[in-house]
Structure 1
């Protein structure tokens, strides 16, 4: 047990435990000039941006829905989810299809991103805890900061970013 007089050692242990819980392979992508990553175990597929069907009374972060092999999949604009302007659509825009576990089983969602980069390996030793302040997005959305290819990458806590309960609450707020 670490004595209470050593907060930096305690913080280091917590950071090491959190980094060990993260996957080692991540899909990196761009939102504006910033690079983000999601653990590949959540990634189902990556598709080219195609026209979306809009759904009335949805929060700004829900860009619309797509038909993915007969299933209706909501597509969230990550830039808007982070409180920024909506992502402009370009030739490199992609929809990253992710699968998350929820109380009803599995939930499939699409994330609109500006560009997909690559799958990278980031070892636990190259992952730092998320900063407590100074980020442009909610701190609880960041699982850690990884170092890949000489650049820092924000590793997203995708289950928090795409929380079904929170998206439903945003939709209800948009209706009132």
Structure 2
């Protein structure tokens, strides 16, 4: 095998176009998941990893939606059940239950939190003009958690605000 001949076959940057590759998009990409029968999505760039459900170590006096913490390669990661946080039915943990670990970096700090969801669905490509504002009237999910809505087929996917999800509200013992 001639290494020089192989080197000649390597394309030079810009020499070939990547036409026909459908995973490259000018829009944003979102990881979609299920909570009960509804689809939600988060910015895929914030997804650190997707893990199967494992029972976390409980934290005394934590809010009921904080299931505990896990050790992820030396990092202590709080685990929040989104069904409980949003008041969507009962939390059931089965073989499709997963934890989506999200990392959000702001100017002040970076935070990594795992969110328990019923199942991961797909990756959604959404152009900016396809994202509609969430209606201002009430709903199950508080308005500040919602970045927008996207029509997908006959359904609607709710885009969640990762920065808002990273906030764990103050909890009083009582």
Whole-Å separation in 2 of the counterparts to 1:37 and 1:43: 11
CA displacement at 1:135 relative to structure 2: 2.1
* Distance in 2 separating the partners of 1:103 and 1:87: 34
State how far apart, in whole Å, the 2-side matches of 1:108 and 1:134 are. Answer: 29
Larger radius of gyration: 2
TM-score (norm 2): 0.79
Q: CA deviation at 1:103?
A: 5.9
In the alignment, structure 1 residue 29 sits paired with structure 2 residue 37: no
Q: Deviations over 1:129-165 (max 9, x none)?
A: 01111421111111100123442100001211221xx
**Partner residue, 1:84:** 88
- Cα deviation for residue 87 of structure 1 reads 1.9
Alignment of 1:86-165 (within 5 A): 86-102=90-106, 104-163=108-167
**TM-score with structure 1 setting the length:** 0.78
Which residue is equivalent to 1:64?
68
**Distance of 1:99 and 1:143 partners within structure 2:** 17
Q: Contact conserved, 1:122 with 1:147, CA < 8 A, in 2?
A: no
- Match for residue 169 of structure 1? 170
Cα offset for 1:169? 1.1
CA-based RMSD of the aligned residues comes to 1.7
What are structure 2's unaligned runs of at least 5 residues? Answer: 1-26
* Structure 1 consecutive aligned stretches of length 4 or more whose deviation exceeds 6 Å: none
